[in-house]
Chain A
Amino acid sequence: NAGVTQTPKFQVLKTGQSMTLQCAQDMNHEYMSWYRQDPGMGLRLIHYSVGAGITDQGEVPNGYNVSRSTTEDFPLRLLSAAPSQTSVYFCASSFELAGGPGEQFFGPGTRLTVL
């Protein structure tokens, strides 16, 4: 199993550009999520999904869109990049247990710089 994969690993954008960060998992996990982590800070939840066709907002959703058309893929779209979106973005997935999401498996992250 490849686990959780993210592409690209690094990206530099100019203010106003749009792009999509890719995330895929091959573990048949129902729950997938996107986090951003700024230097010296904790993880902040952007969006999450409990299954194909179902998405919901996290703590910091503004400026980002997601969709979940398949179980495997959960892309994150930056609509109009801003310098404040410079961060490391992590995608994670897990099984959905009776009491909530289980152990989270993380991708290696995408390091995004917006100039």
Chain B
Amino acid sequence: RKEVEQDPGPFNVPEGATVAFNCTYSNSASQSFFWYRQDCRKEPKLLMSVYSSGNEDGRFTAQLNRASQYISLLIRDSKLSDSATYLCVVSFRRSSASKIIFGSGTRLSIRP
């Protein structure tokens, strides 16, 4: 089982739609959670960190459910420019080793 699992998509939705992605992680010791965005052939960039209480940044809302070990990202009123791959990221420290694990990504395509 992968340590971080995401639905690869692609999600193809019309402009203005609301779309949600889920991500599950296997290590219950995970401490920090992030969503990254990656455009084609570019480096990943931080979209938002995910906090225990959930957090919102404009049209984007991230939620964390520690009991069920999943993270979600909700995009409201989607724009053409939201088309990208969204990466779920989990960070933890295990004994003396610390690690950050990237999911394989969910592809999102917004159509006019």
- Please list the residues of chain A having a beta carbon within 8 angstroms of any beta carbon in chain B: 31, 33, 35, 41-43, 45, 48, 50, 56, 88, 90, 94, 96-104, 106-109
Contacts and interface: CB of A to CB of B under 8 A. Distances in A.
Contacts of B42: 108-109
Contact of A100 (B45, B91, B105): B91
A23 B24 CA distance: 31
Residues of B contacting A: mostly = strand
Contacts of A107: 43
Contacts of A56: 97
A90 B43 contact: yes
A88 B41 contact: yes
B98 A101 contact: yes
Contacts, number: 67
A97 B32 contact: yes
Interface in B47-86: 49
Interface of B: 30-32, 34, 36, 41-46, 49, 87, 89, 91-93, 97-105
B105 A42 contact: yes
A74 B98 CA distance: 17
Nearest to B46: A103
Nearest to A88: B41
A43 B102 contact: yes
B11 to A, nearest CB: 16
Given A88-B41, A99-B91, A101-B91, A42 B32 contact: no
B41 A101 contact: no
